[in-house]
Amino acid sequence: MNSPARQGWRSLLVAYGITSTIESLGVSQIFAYLPLRLREVGLPEAEIPAFTGIFTSLIFVFGILLVPFWGVWADKYSRRAVIVRSAVVEAVVFAGVAIAQEPWQLAAALLLTGLQLGNTGVMLAALRDVTPRGRIGTMTALFGATSPIGFAIGPVIAGLMIDGLGLTLSDVFWVSAALSGLIVVVLLIGTREIRPDVVPAGRVMELARDALLGVLRDPAIRRLFVIFGVAILANQMYRPFLPLLVEDIFGSGAGLASAIALVTGTAALVGAVVSPVSGPIGDRIGFRPVLAASLIGGGIAVALMPLAPVVAWLALLAAIYAVFQAAVQAMMFGLIATEAAPERRSATLNLVLLPLYVAGIIGPSLGALVAAGVGVEGVFPAAGVVFLLGGLGIAGLLGRVRRGRVG
């Protein structure tokens, strides 16, 4: 049964938007500065590229086992508890990254990240239930911008703290841990429980299995998940190694943190700005053509990154890539919204993290193998090839569909 006094959608959007921004802020700092943190905890220099990929994979290891459960637990018991859980765990994760003195301690902290994820779909479901129908588009666009904003400002804040204030990486992650602790307070005080109209009945294991099988038995959703997985795989192949490429171009020493922030933060900010613009283009041209073109364009931008002579050129290529990647994400969610059956749309949104987790494990591991074999510079053209193959595959599928219609 629904709460007799539901929370207003605007106040809930503010609380969830702050939550999403802070979470993305801290995670972006892990992605941007993991190689430097590995050096601080004593990992030998020659092993940093390979272990950057391996440690990035650890972020998704635990989480993949829990993907089918978060939505079920939230709808059956408490959405609010599942969302608060995420904020509590992220505070522990960021504190663990800050306090780590040896590589295994850093690895343990990153493994816990898998218990942190899984709140985005739950927040969207709660927001959808309290938002008037005429405001759902506005709500989705505003909430969707919060994560890219967090990814944009996270490295920038870290760069200012390190190069501007003379603080350490540990200080950066302690601040992120403190902010996550404040989010727990915001969620407990500023949000109410939003129950679904229909509360799932039955055993959790059976509900999670039915949700997973119901989505994966749908051929259209399987194809979308494969496409999404390819795009994320290529992204996860190269992204952990971007800070190392920045260091190769800029050099070590003072100013490196700000150089990394320039490249990673600029890309995330451009993605946040472009994402809402790509939607109308997909509406006009079609989601699949825009998706194919974006994958090909993103692949070219990534493959060219090792050729950048200075950090500014690398930042420009990262921004160009961010334009295409923002379009990829927008087109994928547009396809899910239009092609998923209404009765499976909520489950599909919750399980859309599945290809993220699979690609999050495989992508950095493949990147680590390439880095160990041919060096960090080889990771980027390898990831570019994966992007290109995905884009060409979708373009070929479009050609077959058109020929079938003509025939």
What are the C-alpha distances in Å from 106 to residues 34, 47, 227, 243, 335?
10, 15, 32, 18, 38
Q: Where are the beta strands (DSSP E) in 250-296?
A: none
Residue 242: its pLDDT value, please? 93
Alpha carbon of 179 to those of 114, 153, 156, 215, 355: distances in Å?
19, 14, 16, 36, 29
The pLDDT of residue 405 = 42
Highest mean pLDDT among 161-170, 261-270, 329-338, 389-398: 161-170
Which residue carries 């003379």 as its tokens?
166
147-167 residue pLDDT tens: 888 988 999 999 999 999 999
pTM to 2 decimal places: 0.80
Written as six digits, the tokens of 406 are 């003509």
Contact 300, 348 (CB under 8 A): no
Tokens at 2, concatenated: 């629904």
- 252 three-state secondary structure: coil
Average pLDDT value over all residues in the chain: 84
pLDDT tens digits, one per residue of 298-315 = 999 999 999 999 999 999
Please list, in sequence order, all residues whose beta carbon lies within 8 angstroms of the beta carbon of residue 110, skipping any fewer than 6 positions away: 30, 55, 56, 58, 59, 93, 97
Q: Is the pLDDT of residue 201 over 80?
A: no
pLDDT, residue 5, reads 58
Using pLDDT thresholds of 50, 70 and 90, give the confidence band for residue 402: very low
pLDDT over threshold 50, residue 404: no
Task: Kindly tell me if the per-residue pLDDT of 395 is higher than 90.
Answer: no
The count of residues in the chain is 407
Token digits for 303?
């493959």
H helices within 135-218, ranges in order?
Answer: 136-159, 169-190, 204-216
- The pLDDT value recorded for residue 206 is 82
- The answer on pLDDT for 48 being more than 50 is yes
**pLDDT in the model for residue 177:** 97
Residue 375 sits at φ, ψ, to 5 deg, of 105, 165
Average of pLDDT values for 54-59?
Answer: 86
Domains and CATH numbers, the chain: 1-194 (1.20.1250.20), 217-407 (1.20.1250.20)
Q: 1 pLDDT exceeds 50?
A: no
